Amino acid sequence: MDKDDRYLAMTWGGPKQIPVSVGILPAAWIRYREDLDAIVARHPALFGHVEPGQRDYDAVGGTYTRGTHVDAWGCVWSNVHHGAESIVTGHPVPTRADVWKLEPPAAGAGLPHGFMWLRLADLRGFEELMCDFGDEAPELARLI
């Protein structure tokens, strides 16, 4: 995909290809190894040009490793299966009072999350966040 197609996609101009991003969990690489390499090699438009045999199938890092991890915001991530993604099991601001004490990490610290909604749920916990939305709590505006 070239820059013109990306521009056409952003402006609803009818690109020849739709921009996508495909990721494969480390657990899949650990299990399927060369079979996945063969699939990736057949689809360079999705995965780019990858040399078969260059991947270390067992190299897993970050929150994909089994155990407990704490991110830059203080969220506790738990992982019970090596190669799978962790889930947040500890929320650093479980009460509204805690929101006012939260100090954001330094810019660029930790892993990028991707979605504001998910970061809010990670910080507060799903049920508390839903109450914040329902009550239109000022703490929610502060987090946003």
pLDDT (tens digit per residue) in 115-124: 889 999 999 9
Q: Which domain range does residue 7 map to? A: 3-47
Domain count, the chain: 2
User: What's the predicted TM-score (pTM) here?
Assistant: 0.77
Task: Examine the domain organization and report whether 75 and 107 are in the same domain.
Answer: yes
> pLDDT grade, residue 1 (50/70/90)?
low
Task: Examine the domain organization and report whether 66 and 33 are in the same domain.
Answer: no
Task: Examine the domain organization and report whether 84 and 121 are in the same domain.
Answer: yes
Helix (H) / strand (E) element for 69: namely strand 67-70
Task: Examine the domain organization and report whether 86 and 41 are in the same domain.
Answer: no
Mean residue pLDDT of the chain comes to 91
- What confidence score (pLDDT) does residue 64 get? 94
Q: Is the pLDDT of residue 30 over 70?
A: yes
- 3-state percent breakdown (helix, strand, coil) of the chain, nearest 5: 40, 10, 50
- What confidence score (pLDDT) does residue 57 get? 94
Task: Examine the domain organization and report whether 17 and 73 are in the same domain.
Answer: no
- What confidence score (pLDDT) does residue 109 get? 79
Q: Is the pLDDT of residue 15 over 70?
A: yes
